[in-house]
Amino acid sequence: MSTPSHPAYLDNAASTALVGQARAAMEAAWARPGNSSSLHGSGRRARRILEEARESIARDLGARPSEVIFTSGGTEADNLALKGVYAARRRDDDRRRKIVISAVEHHAILDPAQWLVDEAGAELVVLPVDEIGVVDVDALRDLLAADADSVAVISVMWANNEVGTVQPVAEVARLGADHGIPVHSDAIAAAGHLSVDFAASGLAALSIAGHKFGGPQGIGALLLRRDVACTPLLHGGGHERDLRSGTQDVPAAAGMAAALRWSVENRDEHAARVVALRERLRDVLVDVGGVRVNGAVGRPDAADALPGIVHVSFEGCEGDSLLMLLDAKGVECSTGSACTAGVAAASHVLLAMGLDMATARGSLRFSLAHDNDDDDVTAVADAIGEVVNRARAAGLLSAGSRTGGRR
């Protein structure tokens, strides 16, 4: 079976294609050398490009330019927010040991939170979610009413990167503000696709990554209010408000800003187009039979969901098998599971939503962007029936071999 020369790329939640505006901005920045910290003409030119990018990002996300701190990507932005704010808050008051996060956070939040538990004496509080992945705000309210003085930082993502469910971030931020606790949101899946206004949200900090909305990989930003104390993770030059030392990647910053500007300008048009494709794709997948649609997209009105994500579980299938069979037919998506040390593990997001292990492991995420079209959905429609049948047959054979053929 040969792979088509032009696969249907349906993994945009992992990384999007670089848009032309971003490429042009980066090429212009690359045209001449220059370190943005140098004082000569080339350095001042680089600094101007960097600061114009900072101002553009701030405008598009409802922030002040001085609140935009460039990082190497979303993971670094999340780590700086969680570790940096925790360290600063703990230094001011040793009682502040608790880190509060939702059960469906990305590993860029889960892992630094666990590191702080293991290495810095933190206590981790994980808020539960409902069956579509919405965080339990009442649980947070009860926690803060009982013991707000022990909480250092709260982090709840803006929208889930796996199932697309949008969180009540503004409500979480208000609760934090009522108790004087900084609230961070990983908005990496949301920026460029949803209306994100940092000032209006009431958040203390927010993370983005350029490659999620048509910008380059390897660049991101942490939006951090000026009144929020944060301990730097990197030292050695005092760049970015002395919070993120290191020579800034000026072309990447320019590319991210250009991509965000383009995404925001075209967001409504693109969202309408992508939602229409998403609904058709959802129908194609459900028609296979034995399929569960996960997250907010599974509701009839698909309210409070990212426009481009369809996350489904196939009864009697392994996600990894489905992924490889689809890839062989020219359809590229991702699984709802991760592979650690060669052993398939169900997604923590799906388990937190109440799915059983078998259902969680038989899941796929299809994620669309503005450059997908009906042909991509048709490619899925042409392949999915055969692929699911083969995966289910393989699952039955595997189950039979484990039981010696007994039923």
Q: Letter for the amino acid at 212?
A: K
DSSP letter, residue 217: T
3-state secondary structure of 151: strand
pLDDT per residue as tens digits for the range 179-208 = 999 999 999 999 999 999 999 999 999 999
pLDDT per residue as tens digits for the range 95-112 = 999 999 999 999 999 999
Q: Letter for the amino acid at 166?
A: V
Taken as a whole, the chain contains a residue count of 407
Clarify whether residues 218 and 326 are in a common domain: no
What's the pLDDT at 407? 34
Clarify whether residues 141 and 222 are in a common domain: yes
Tell me the residue ranges of DSSP E strands in 176-308.
183-186, 205-209, 220-224, 291-294
Catalytic residue among 230, 317, 333, 339: 339
What's the pLDDT at 406? 41
Clarify whether residues 315 and 226 are in a common domain: no
Domain boundary among 264, 293, 315: 264
Encode 142-173: b = buried (16+ Cβ within 10 Å), e = exposed. Answer: ebbeeebeebbbbbbbbbbbbbbbbbebeebb
Strand order in the sheet with 183-186: 68-71, 220-224, 205-209, 183-186, 151-155, 98-102, 123-127
pLDDT per residue as tens digits for the range 47-63 = 999 999 999 999 999 99
Q: 71 pLDDT exceeds 70?
A: yes
What's the pLDDT at 397? 53
DSSP letter, residue 203: -
Clarify whether residues 220 and 203 are in a common domain: yes
In a domain, 217, yes or no: yes
What's the pLDDT at 403? 47
Domain boundary among 264, 299, 328: 264
What's the pLDDT at 399? 53
**Structure confidence at residue 342 as a pLDDT band (50, 70, 90):** very low
Q: 155 pLDDT exceeds 80?
A: yes
Check if the beta carbon of residue 134 is closer than 8 Å to that of residue 167: yes
In a domain, 13, yes or no: no
Give the residue numbers spanning the domain of 52: 20-264
Q: 338 pLDDT exceeds 80?
A: no
pLDDT per residue as tens digits for the range 263-304 = 999 999 999 999 999 999 999 999 999 999 999 987 766 668
In a domain, 5, yes or no: no
> Could you confirm whether 230 is annotated as catalytic?
no
Clarify whether residues 220 and 87 are in a common domain: yes
3-state secondary structure of 253: helix
What's the pLDDT at 345? 80
| pTM of the full structure | 0.94
What's the pLDDT at 396? 62
Q: 150 pLDDT exceeds 50?
A: yes
What's the pLDDT at 6? 80
- Which residues, 6+ apart, have CB-to-CB distance to 404 below 8 Å? none
In a domain, 32, yes or no: yes
Domain boundary among 264, 296, 325: 264
In a domain, 342, yes or no: yes
Residue 241 half-sphere exposure toward CB, CA atoms < 13 A: 24
Mean pLDDT of the chain: 93
> CATH number, domain at 28?
3.40.640.10
Q: 398 pLDDT exceeds 70?
A: no
What's the pLDDT at 302? 63
CA gap 153, 302 in Å, rounded: 31
Clarify whether residues 209 and 334 are in a common domain: no
Task: State residue 315 phi and psi, 5-degree precision.
Answer: -60, 135
What's the pLDDT at 336? 60
**Tally of structural domains, the chain:** 2
pLDDT per residue as tens digits for the range 75-96 = 999 999 999 999 999 999 999 9
List 102's β-bridge partners, or say none.
Answer: 127
